[in-house]
Amino acid sequence: MKWARFWANSTGYVAGSAPPRFEKSCVRPTEACGDRAVIRLDGRNSAAALALCRRECRARGFVGFTVIAGESLLSAAERRAYEAVSTAATKAS
């Protein structure tokens, strides 16, 4: 089975800061959580599946995605590297 796993931006926490500091320079993509952070894909690695990933990523407010595959989500391995997705709304033809 294949899934698209979505990514969100981190808070920008500065590691080791006390009291906690948050800076824009420390914002990084991090795996998103929850039921909206993953979608199931069909078995084909087609341009249509990647277009679906990009469209859902924008619609759900995430910043990027990876494609993973395996027998279950817990044992899945990355099949397509992280792809950043522009948050600007674009119309699909």
**DSSP characters for 38-68?**
EEEE-S---HHHHHHHHHHHHHTT-SEEEEE
> Per residue in 5-53, pLDDT tens?
999 999 999 999 999 999 999 999 999 999 999 999 987 768 889 999 9
What pLDDT is recorded for position 62?
A: 96
Q: What is the mean pLDDT of residues 55-69?
A: 95
The pLDDT-based confidence of 92 (bands split at 50, 70, 90) is very low
